[in-house]
C-alpha cells in the first residue's frame, strides 16, 4: 500500500481511531488466563542464618525461591537451605556454575526428598550479556560474520551445558531430567537455542523493561519455552536495588506482560549480605496481595505482533556505541531497524514480540508478522549512515520515542489498516508482510 495522495491519508487519519478501537475490542475478547505465577527471591549471600530469616519473612507472600551463588560452592549451605525452603512450602531452583555443580547423588536425593518442589538447575548466567560486552570470558571472541558468530555461540554454550567436561547434565540420569534456567540481559534467543528451558530477562540499570520483555517473550513463544523476569541491581553500589515504589511498578509490568517467573535479586557485590529493605519487602507483599485478588488475563500470541529482525543480527540496542555480537559496530541497517522497533513499541506496547527468522515462526500463531525490511515501516528512504555515526534505538532513555514520532502516524495507518483488513477478510492463512 502506498500512501501518496493527501486525501487518502487524511481519510485514513480520520478513521484510524475506529480501527484502533476495533483492535482493542478484539484483544479484550480473546485474552486467556495465564499459567501459574512463580514469585520469589534469589538469595546470593552466604549466611545460612540470614537466608533462613529472609525465608521466614517472605514465605507468606511468595511461592518460589532461588538458592543463588555465594561466590563459592557450598554443598552444606545448599542442602540446608533447600530443606528449609521445602519445609516452608515453597518451590525452588538452585544455582550452579562451571566447574561446580551438584553431584548425581545430590540430585537423586533432591528428587526423592523434595519431589516436584525442586524445579531444576539455574546454571550460570548472563552469557549473552557477557558476549555482547566482551566481558569475563565471552563465548565468541572472533567470527567471520554474524551467522558464524551465532553458530559458534549456540554450539559452544550447548557444549558447556550438555556435553562438555563441566556440563551440568553430566550429573543427570538423562539429559533432560531437570529443567535448566538462566538469567540474561541480551541474546535471549540464542540462550534458548543453546539448550536453556527458561530464561529470565533482567530488569537492570536503566535498560528498557518493555524492550527486553519483547525480546525474551518473543524468543520463548517461537521456541516453545518458558520465560520470566529477574529484577536486579539498579545501581552498582549501595543501595543497589530500586526503591519499593519502582520495584512494585516493575513487578506489575512483568505480571501484565505474562511472565511465568518474577524474581527479586538479593545480595551485595561481595555476596556477603542481603540488600532488600523493608520498603522493598512491603512492595513484594503488596504485589502478592494484588495477584491473589486479581487473577490476570494476558494477550495470547494470536493477538500479538512479531517483529522479525535480520537473521543473527545480535545488536545490543542500548545506544549509538553498542555493538553486534560484541564484535562489530553498528552497521547501515541499524538506524532503520531501531526506528522501526521504537515505532512498534509505541503502537503495540506489551503486545509486541521481537524475534528472529525461524521455521517455527509461522506456526507460533501471531496475529501479524512484520519483517525488518518492509518499506512500510520507514515511509521515506533514510540516508545510509556512515559506520559509527548511526543513531540506534535507545533502550536506556525516553529519547527513542522522539526519534520515532515523525514517522509514527503514517506507519500506524499502514499497519492498522492491514490488520483491520486481515480481520475483515477472515483469512485462514497467517498474514504477514513479505520478507
DSSP code of residue 70: -
How confident is the prediction along the chain (435 residues), in pLDDT tens digits per residue?
A: 333 444 333 333 333 333 333 333 333 333 443 338 999 999 999 899 999 999 999 999 999 999 997 656 688 899 999 999 999 999 999 999 877 788 899 999 999 999 999 999 999 999 999 999 999 999 999 999 999 999 999 999 999 999 898 899 999 999 999 999 999 999 999 999 999 999 999 999 989 999 999 999 999 999 999 999 999 999 999 999 999 999 999 999 999 999 999 999 999 999 999 999 999 999 999 999 999 999 988 889 999 999 999 999 999 999 888 999 999 999 999 999 999 999 999 999 999 999 999 999 999 999 999 999 987 776 544 444 333 333 333 344 333 444 444 445 445 545 554 454 444 343 333 333 223
Integer distance in angstroms from the first to the last C-alpha of the chain? 15
pLDDT, position 429? 35
- Beta strands 64-67 and 91-96 are parallel
Q: How many CB atoms lie within 10 A of CB 91?
A: 18
Query: Cα–Cα distance between 273 and 46 in angstroms, integer?
Result: 7
* DSSP code for 323: E
> Within 100-233, where are the H helices?
104-114, 127-133, 146-162, 188-194, 209-223
Domains and CATH numbers, the chain: 6-30+299-425 (no CATH), 35-298 (3.20.20.80)
CA distance 300 to 353: 11
How many Å apart are CA 314 and CA 82, to the nearest integer?
A: 37
| pTM > 0.85 | no
pLDDT on residue 229: 98
Residue 412: per-residue pLDDT: 54
pLDDT attached to residue 415: 55
**pLDDT at residue number 287:** 98
Strands 64-67 and 38-43: parallel
Cα–Cα distance measured from residue 83 to residue 27, given in angstroms and rounded to the nearest whole number: 44
372 alpha-carbon distance from chain centroid: 20
Sign of CA dihedral 347, 352, 354, 355: negative
- φ/ψ of 320, rounded to 5, equals -65, -15
pLDDT of res. 319: 87
Sign of CA dihedral 217, 219, 223, 226: negative
Give yes or no for a contact between 201 and 185, defined as CB atoms under 8 angstroms apart. yes
Asked if the peptide bond before residue 99 counts as cis, ω within 30 degrees of 0, the response is: yes
Cell match 559509527: residue? Answer: 388
Give the 3-state secondary structure of residue 270.
coil
Amino acid at each position: 500500500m502506498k500512501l501518496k495522495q493527501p486525501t487518502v491519508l487524511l481519510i485514513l487519519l480520520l478513521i484510524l481511531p475506529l480501527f484502533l478501537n476495533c483492535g482493542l475490542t478484539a484483544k479484550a475478547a480473546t485474552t486467556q488466563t495465564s499459567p501459574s505465577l512463580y514469585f520469589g527471591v534469589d538469595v546470593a549471600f552466604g549466611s545460612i542464618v540470614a537466608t533462613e530469616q529472609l525465608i521466614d519473612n517472605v514465605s507468606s507472600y511468595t511461592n518460589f525461591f532461588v538458592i543463588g551463588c555465594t561466590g563459592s560452592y557450598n554443598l552444606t549451605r545448599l542442602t540446608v537451605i533447600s530443606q528449609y525452603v521445602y519445609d516452608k512450602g515453597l518451590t525452588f531452583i538452585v544455582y550452579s556454575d562451571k566447574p561446580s555443580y551438584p553431584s548425581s547423588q545430590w540430585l537423586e536425593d533432591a528428587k526423592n526428598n523434595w519431589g516436584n518442589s525442586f524445579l531444576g538447575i539455574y546454571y550460570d548466567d548472563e552469557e549473552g550479556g557477557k558476549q555482547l560486552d566482551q566481558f569475563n570470558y565471552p563465548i565468541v571472541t572472533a567470527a567471520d560474520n554474524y551467522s558464524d558468530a551465532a553458530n559458534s555461540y549456540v554450539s559452544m554454550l550447548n557444549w558447556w551445558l550438555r556435553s562438555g567436561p563441566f556440563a551440568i547434565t553430566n550429573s543427570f540420569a538423562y539429559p533432560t531430567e531437570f529443567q535448566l534456567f538462566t538469567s540474561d540481559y541480551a541474546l535471549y534467543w540464542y540462550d534458548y537455542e543453546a539448550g536453556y528451558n527458561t530464561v529470565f530477562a533482567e530488569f537492570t540499570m536503566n535498560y528498557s523493561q518493555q524492550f527486553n520483555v519483547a525480546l525474551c517473550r518473543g524468543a520463548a513463544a517461537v521456541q516453545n519455552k518458558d520465560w520470566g523476569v529477574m529484577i536486579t541491581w539498579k545501581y552498582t553500589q549501595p543501595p543497589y536495588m530500586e526503591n519499593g515504589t519502582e520495584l512494585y511498578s516493575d513487578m506489575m509490568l512483568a505480571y501484565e506482560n505474562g511472565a511465568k517467573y518474577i524474581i527479586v535479586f538479593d545480595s551485595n557485590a561481595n555476596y556477603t549480605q542481603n540488600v532488600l529493605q523493608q520498603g522493598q519487602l512491603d512492595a513484594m507483599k503488596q504485589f502478592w496481595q494484588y495477584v491473589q485478588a486479581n487473577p490476570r488475563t494476558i494477550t495470547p500470541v494470536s493477538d500479538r505482533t512479531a517483529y522479525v529482525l535480520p537473521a543473527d543480527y545480535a545488536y545490543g540496542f542500548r545506544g549509538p556505541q553498542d555493538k553486534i555480537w560484541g564484535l562489530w559496530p553498528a552497521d547501515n541497517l541499524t538506524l532503520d531497524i531501531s526506528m522501526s522497533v521504537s515505532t512498534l513499541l509505541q503502537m503495540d506496547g506489551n503486545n509486541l514480540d521481537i524475534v528472529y527468522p525461524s521455521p517455527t515462526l509461522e506456526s507460533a500463531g501471531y496475529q501479524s508478522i512484520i519483517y525488518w525490511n518492509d518499506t512500510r515501516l520507514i515511509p521515506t528512504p533514510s540516508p545510509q549512515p556512515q559506520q559509527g555515526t548511526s543513531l540506534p534505538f535507545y533502550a536506556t532513555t525516553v529519547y527513542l520515542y522522539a526519534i520515532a514520532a515523525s514517522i509514527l502516524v503514517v506507519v500506524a495507518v499502514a499497519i492498522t489498516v492491514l490488520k483491520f483488513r486481515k480481520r475483515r477478510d477472515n483469512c485462514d492463512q497467517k498474514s504477514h508482510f513479505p520478507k
